[in-house]
Structure 1
Amino acid sequence: MARPGAGLAWAAALAFIGATLTGCDQPTPQDGETADSILQSSAQETALEHAAKHLDPTYICPMHPNIVQDHPGTCPICGMDLVEKRMTPKPAQPQVDAHPEVALSGAMVQSLGVRTAEVERGALRREVRAVGRVAYDETRLAHIHPRAAGWIEGLSLRAEGEPVTKGQALADLYAPDILSAQVDFLLALEQPGSGARRVAPDKARNLLRLLGVPEGVIREIEKTGQTRNTIPVEAPANGIVTRIMAREGMYVTPETEMFTIAALTEVWVLVDVFEHQLAWVAPGMSAEMQVPAYPGRTWKGKVDYLYPDLDPKTRTLRVRLVFSNPQRALKPNMFADVVIAGGPKPDVLKIPRDALIVTGERESVVKALGDGRFQPVDVVTGMASDGQIEVLSGLAAGDAIVVSGQFLIDSESSLQASFRRMR
């Protein structure tokens, strides 16, 4: 049980401690000073000056700095009188302009060939320049397989790259299943009757079609009433033979790819677009292309497809373009210089590309202030097109900037800033 009067004793002790702490925090008024004047003078002092004024004095030996005492005396090692150590506030360092002005005489401006231009607002055309590669149009590739297993008795093609036309015979195939279907077709034709009984010849005819027998051969079999040992393998479309897997006497099955034919009337051009340019490209946009093989000649096409994923190493997206090639001048695997024309970006602040200074750490231009005075200004740039660069911050419309001789002026400004920092 607590003793009587213990609460009052604890309250008195806490009040004494609070009064003591309050007295330590507040400066003591001197003669002729008020509390308000003391507080105002304290507010004007820096933290370092205030600490130096109220810090307890410290005495050290000039010869032996490790001897430190809080009262005057002599050094126990050398006997010299201890000296009071005082804290001296370090003066504030003046701020040095990173890009000071440079003043040039009229003769110097003429000697350096300084030319200026105005910052203006206007439309900036978005265009993507890239290097592409001509490729086959994969939607126009024809892969030829036999419809039945058999042997190649004759081959009309001898090498890859030969042009073929639709309906041209490429090889002669002997297939037992096709020969058996011909016999069934002739037997169905010999059956007398009409109406429902005529269904059997039609089924046999369709079976020959499914086995890849051309219509002209079917009519010939029906007309002559005789079977054919070999059936021609015809080209399904005009194009170039890009692959030959069949040889005379070779046994082939439906899984065997005998020929590949590619049509070159239209070609694909595959280009890689950088990640920051993806918003400028969309299917249907027009594109122009030039190839080193035909200097001065331009092909016009359009954007056909944007592939869904980026290359993790190059951080680019593959874009497919389609170009017409009626004369077959464009060959697969040719390199091409492609320009994709996007929509214009209106009302942008733009400067000539020649005015921009890029150092790797900053982008800047030199602003002409008038009366031979110039000053470098850091800027933030955006897209670039047709020799113009978009400026996002750092300049305003109507500002005069240097487009020739700005590198020497920027170097002089940097040199002056270095000298000022040394001083």
Structure 2
Amino acid sequence: VSATGDHVKKGQTLFTIYSPDLVATQEEYLLALQGRKQMGESEFPEVAQGSKGLLAATKRRFQLWDITDDHIRALEKTGKVLKTLPIHSPITGTVMNKEALAGAYVEPGQELYTIADLSHIWILADIYEYELSFVKAGQTAAVTLTYDLGTVLTGHLGFIYPTLDPKTRTAKVRFELDNRDETLKPDMYANVELRVNLGIRLVIPQDAVIESGQKQVVFLHQGGGRLEPRLIKTGVRTGEWSEVLDGLKEGEHIVTSANFLIDSESKLKSVIESMGGMPGMK
């Protein structure tokens, strides 16, 4: 394997390595194998058992170094010690990072390759705090890429992280997607649309709501060109709509572009403050 981005299969040779310890272990294994043959005929059971234990211990060392059974059988058959031993990929995937260089000295614990299986990937999305009660593991979502909005992929919500970001007041959720064609790449941006059945609720356009601190106001049509400011309480926001929890009834007529009615911040402030003295407007 020569470069980052190469595809590898499970069991494929990544590189070969020379290690005096590996050479010594092969020699010990051959000696233990020969000893088992000789001592296996011993009339003393403990001698034969000790020989088998030494052989098993040496074989376990091979396994810790990820030496395959095929190479162990080849060593037993030929009796020849290999000066270099191949290291194989543990999975089928893509080389994400390659640090191995020909002739380089390596130490135990040093990372030489990073291999990832990109056939199934995760997408991390942010969910607002007020939306969490509508989100459950197992829900499906429509996923589109920022450069290809016409292609819609399907993701499944696999995990909701247990903490909120204190700055954004959002929670991370993890969606799982089939990516066998490797359309999706690590660190891409995507749009995630999660459809939730909210039932029948009273909603108004978000453009109709004037925000002033913790207060939310709409203007009602009273006829004759007269408008009445009304404090309301909103709930879930979805797309261009806001749920109304209190302050309005179905059928009441409101101005749907209220933000254009106030020509300055000072006028808006005076309207909101004047409502503080009205009954029920505290």
TM range (shorter): 0.7 to 0.9
Indicate conservation of the 8 Å contact 2:210/2:258, yes or no: no
Helix, strand or coil at the partner of 1:295: strand
Counterpart amino acid of 2:154? K
Which structure 2 residues correspond to residues 168-317 of structure 1 after superposition, within 5 A? 168-190=12-34, 191-192=37-38, 193=40, 196=49, 198-317=52-171
Q: Which residue identity lines up with residue 203 of structure 2 in the other structure?
A: K
Query: What is the letter of the counterpart of residue 165 of structure 1?
Result: K
Q: Which amino acid aligns with 1:385?
A: T
How much does 1:375 deviate?
Answer: 3.1
Q: Is the 8 A contact 2:222 2:228 kept in 1?
A: no
Give the Å deviation of 1:180.
Answer: 1.3
Other structure's SS at 1:334 match: coil
Distance 1:381 1:325 in 2: 39
When residues 321 and 381 of structure 1 are mapped into structure 2, their CA distance, relative to the original with a 3 A threshold, is same
* Paired letter, 1:231: L
Distance in 1 (CA, whole Å) between partners of 2:107 and 2:262 is 76
Matched residues in 1 for 2:20 and 2:177: separation? 45
User: Are the aligned partners of 2:10 and 2:88 in contact in 1 as well (CA < 8 Å)?
Assistant: yes
> What is the count of residue pairs matched by the alignment?
256
Unaligned runs of 5+ residues in structure 2 are 42-47, 275-282
Q: Which amino acid aligns with 1:174?
A: Y
Is 1:397 matched with 2:241?
Answer: no
- TM-superposed CA distance for 1:261, in Å, is 0.7
Q: Does 2:20 align with 1:167?
A: no
Q: Which residue of 1 aligns with 2:236?
A: 383
Cα offset, 1:360, TM superposition? 4.2
TM-score by length of 2: 0.77
3-state SS, counterpart of residue 198 of structure 2: strand
Percent sequence identity over aligned pairs: 33
Structure 2 letter corresponding to 1:290 = T
Superposed, which structure 2 residues align to 1:344-383 within 5 Å?
A: 344-353=197-206, 356-358=208-210, 360=212, 363-369=216-222, 375-378=227-230, 379-383=232-236
Q: Counterpart of 2:82 in structure 1: which amino acid?
A: R
Kept in 1: contact 2:210–2:259 (CA 8 A): no
CA distance in 1, matches of 2:252, 2:67: 79
Q: Do 1:307 and 1:317's aligned partners in 2 also have CA atoms closer than 8 Å?
A: yes
Q: TM-score, normalised by structure 1?
A: 0.53
Matched residue SS, 1:345: coil
- Distance in 2, matches of 1:204 and 1:406, equals 81
Sort the Cα spacing of 1:257 and 1:409 in 2 relative to 1 into closer, same or farther, 3 A.
closer
CA distance in 2, matches of 1:174, 1:186: 18
Greater length-normalized contact order (CA 8 Å, ≥ 6 residues apart): 1
- Cα distance change of structure 1 residues 365 and 383 upon mapping to structure 2, 3 Å threshold: same
Query: In 2, distance between residues paired with 1:242 and 1:276?
Result: 37
User: SS of the residue aligned with 2:62?
Assistant: helix
- Aligned letter for 2:116? A
Structure 1 CA distance, aligned partners of 2:260 and 2:162?
A: 47
* Distance in structure 1 (CA, Å) of the matches to 2:171 and 2:98: 33
2:145 partner letter = V
Q: Check conservation: 1:366, 1:410, Cα contact below 8 A.
A: no
Task: List per-residue Cα deviations over 1:50-90 (Å, max 9, x = no partner).
Answer: xxxxxxxxxxxxxxxxxxxxxxxxxxxxxxxxxxxxxxxxx
Shift of residue 353, structure 1, vs aligned partner: 4.2
What letter corresponds to residue 304 of structure 1 in structure 2?
A: G
Residue 254 of structure 1 and its aligned partner are, at CA, apart by 1.5
| Residues 406, 294 of structure 1: alpha-carbon distance in 2 compared, 3 angstrom cutoff | closer
Give the deviation of 1:407 after TM superposition. Answer: 6.9
Superposed CA deviations along residues 294-350 of structure 1, whole A, max 9, x for unmatched, are 3311122223333343333333333332222111110011111112334x3345322
